[in-house]
Amino acid sequence: MQISLDSQNVASVILHSVFEQAVRTQTQKLDENFISAMKKSGHSAQARASLTEDLFSVHHVDAAQMKTRIFERLGEKFGLKQDDFETIANYARAIRRGVDDLKDKPGGLLALQKIEEDLGLDELGISMDSVIEAMMDPSSDAAKELNEALEEKLGKSGRDAALHNGPVKMNNDGLYTR
């Protein structure tokens, strides 16, 4: 298998790498600040346990993971696997061809709408076309909109869970619990 990268793909890979490093650095700083604050309050064991749960829990999902899963599931709807393509842009182009082919078939628009619903794109307020554009160009407005929608969904999920899990109370150790 021969891999060819054009300058746009190389730039995209570099940009993605820089972004990931910035996120890792920021996360590390937040983690260090959190642990430091918990140590000062005398709850370092609980802080480490909470941090470990947040970082390594199978239930912890971030926007990048959600986006990757949407990309994978979208390709699967058209019988495609991302691993079968040299670049994500090629993968996105193959999905685009599948979408265009489906649009031309009777009932194709309804099928596309169903796919959007299955992927939860309707709840995010994002179209399939925007997802494909985000795949092709991670610096596009569509990619930014997708990221913002996913971040907002994650934020709402956290707030909704807090509302549905009952009131927060302080226990005898001065920790907040439900």
What pLDDT digit, counting tens, does each position of 20-47 carry?
665 565 656 555 655 555 555 555 555 5
The pLDDT tens digits of the residues spanning 73-85 come to 999 999 999 999 9
153 domain-assigned: yes
Rounded CA-CA distance 27/177 in Å is: 24
The total domain count for the chain is 1
Domain enclosing residue 84, as ranges: 63-158
Judge residue 104's burial from the number of C-beta atoms within 10 Å of its C-beta, 0-12 exposed, 13-18 middle, 19 or more buried: exposed
92 domain-assigned: yes
74 domain-assigned: yes
Rounded CA-CA distance 115/121 in Å is: 9
Are 48 and 31 a contacting pair, CB within 8 Å?
A: no
Rounded CA-CA distance 61/3 in Å is: 31
The pLDDT tens digits of the residues spanning 88-133 come to 999 999 999 999 999 999 999 999 999 999 999 988 999 999 999 9
A 10 A CB-CB count for 170 gives 9
